[in-house]
Amino acid sequence: MTITPAPGGFDEYEMYQVLERACAKVGLDGRDARLLRGHTNAVLLLEKEQVVAKIARKGTDVESVARTVAFVRWLVEAGFPTVPLHPCEQPLVVDGQAVTFWTYLPQPEHPVAAGQLAGPLKTLHSLPPPPLALAEHDNIRAIRRSLAAITCLPAAAIRYMEDEADRLEGELREVQFALSPGLIQGDPQHRNALHTPDGSAVLCDWDTIAQGQPEWDLVTVEVHCRRFGYGQAHYEAFADAYGWDVRKCTGYSVLRDIRELRMVTTNARKVRHAPASLSEIQRRVDGLRRRDGQLPWNIL
């Protein structure tokens, strides 16, 4: 089951108005645009142009989008495997909303395999610092920010997650990380990578780029393989290709629980834009309370 939210927090008319004005600014034809993804940002394909337009989620700071654009340009110059930007001035700002345009890569029905993420991620983790300021990755702060904005869950569920955040914050202080800190993607997963015509894979969606521990990227891949039906073999292919298995880290259970709590709280915060997702959020919270680490999650 895939639950489709209001794209980027916009109603359909509003989204297409922003798209039309952005396309007009750069001379692109968006009349045949169709929505590709809409859970976080509104991502649309301009069929005639074979260009992808990405309208940042309503309320997103334009400066953060500009930083993402600068980072991607730096990656391209470094020869890193990423989806390239469309050649125009970016980001565009329409009614306070940031819009970017990207090269379109046609995709087969199956997502990128976890094993294909390993090479690009390992390369990313070994890159030198870019010439721009990036935030320090902080899952606990992100969890608390989401908890403060959740309005769809009963008080008892929110208190439970607040207590979990407190517990995990304390346990995180004792975790001994094995890998050297550096650049991390922040949310590497099957749907944040794309197939290329030559059969390789490139990373995309750099909104969560940060400085931090590579273990956060690795545990994110593990969570996605386990929770979304890809299976243990899928993750093991990734770990073999990367050359390190995050499950062998002494702090794995802490990192796993933090990452899952962040995923749940982030989605719960967005329910006002995607009311059909509420039942799935409740399922996940109930699963966390039962310590059910194998409960399958439906894609939101």
Residue 53 pLDDT: 97
Residue 4 pLDDT: 46
In a domain, 295, yes or no: no
Distance CA 34, CA 45 (A): 5
| Domain stop point among 34, 69, 103 | 103
End-to-end alpha carbon distance in the chain: 8
Question: Is there a single domain that holds both residue 220 and residue 279?
Answer: yes
Beta bridge partners of 98: 93
Question: Is there a single domain that holds both residue 140 and residue 161?
Answer: yes
In a domain, 174, yes or no: yes
Question: Is there a single domain that holds both residue 169 and residue 87?
Answer: no
| Domain stop point among 103, 126, 143 | 103
Distance CA 216, CA 220 (A): 6
Question: Is there a single domain that holds both residue 88 and residue 134?
Answer: no
pLDDT tens digits along 14-62: 999 999 999 999 999 999 999 998 878 999 999 999 999 999 988 899 9
Q: How many domains are there within the chain? A: 2
Longest Cα–Cα distance in the chain:
54
Distance CA 33, CA 27 (A): 14
In a domain, 108, yes or no: no
3-state class (DSSP) for residue 210: strand
pLDDT tens digits along 166-212: 999 999 999 999 999 999 999 999 989 999 999 899 999 999 999 99
Question: Is there a single domain that holds both residue 93 and residue 170?
Answer: no
| Percent above pLDDT 90 for the chain | 87
Question: Is there a single domain that holds both residue 68 and residue 184?
Answer: no
In a domain, 296, yes or no: no
Who contacts 22 (Cβ-Cβ below 8 Å, separation ≥6)?
Answer: 30, 53, 55, 92, 94, 99, 101
pTM to 2 decimals? 0.93
What DSSP character marks residue 82?
A: B
Question: Is there a single domain that holds both residue 168 and residue 253?
Answer: yes
Question: Is there a single domain that holds both residue 119 and residue 97?
Answer: no
Report the CATH number at residue 125. 3.90.1200.10
Who contacts 37 (Cβ-Cβ below 8 Å, separation ≥6)?
Answer: 7, 43, 191
Task: Give residue 106's identity as a one-letter amino acid code.
Answer: P
Report the CATH number at residue 86. 3.30.200.20
Domain that holds residue 31: 7-103
Question: Is there a single domain that holds both residue 91 and residue 175?
Answer: no
In a domain, 218, yes or no: yes
Distance CA 215, CA 203 (A): 17
Question: Is there a single domain that holds both residue 24 and residue 166?
Answer: no
Sheet with 51-55: list strands edge to edge. Answer: 34-37, 42-46, 51-55, 97-103, 92-94
